[in-house]
Amino acid sequence: MTPARERGLTALACAAGAGLALLAAGRVWATVRAAGAITPFTESVTGRDLGGTASALGWAGLAGLAALFATRGRVRQAVGALIAAFGAGIVYGTVVSVQRSHVVDVAGDKRALLKLGASPQMDVNLWWMVSVTGGVLLAAAGLVVLVRGARWPGMSARYERETAPAAASAPAAPADDAAGLWKSLDRGEDPTDHDRPAEPRR
């Protein structure tokens, strides 16, 4: 596999991981039912309601993806380390946010009647697992960048190869052009005479 292709596949994994985290963040992760409240009700909470960690780090992962193409060498490796940290943060933040005590507290903040209910029931769906999957993908892509990113070409490498020969073949201007011009003017000569066609001799 060529370095450019490897870079492209890693960028695709990075984009997929961040995208999954952002997609899951807006979906309902848990539902709390308060059957013993004065007025029984059901409250649903999304990933953003539970803290928004996955959403924030998902956007950070997309920013890291842009930096992946704009950097090279050790700077790109540092970007890879950050992307891996973003992915790990998504996984950790997601797992913590679906703990029962946290979900019940968040639902209670949204619906005060929940605090009057006896033994609220909580159901967690699989959207939080989608967020974890996105975090794992993002972390894996960041580790690949950290290990192999220094070998990948930069975004402007093709343009540098095209312009370098042209710059090398361009003739250098004589350093004494300005000095020679002033000397010819001092002698009373017209420095533009060489641009005129020579007149035929009679």
CATH class held by domain 3-156: mainly alpha
pLDDT tens digits, 5-64: 888 899 999 999 999 999 999 999 999 887 766 666 788 899 999 988 899 999 999 998
Domain limits, the chain: 3-156
Neighbouring residues of 156: CB distance < 8 A, sequence distance ≥ 6 = none
- Dihedral, CA of residue 182, residue 186, residue 190 and residue 194, to nearest 10: -60
Q: Are the C-beta atoms of 61 and 138 separated by less than 8 Å? A: yes
Rounded-to-integer distance, Cα 192 and Cα 201, Å: 20
pTM exceeding the 0.85 threshold for the entire prediction: no
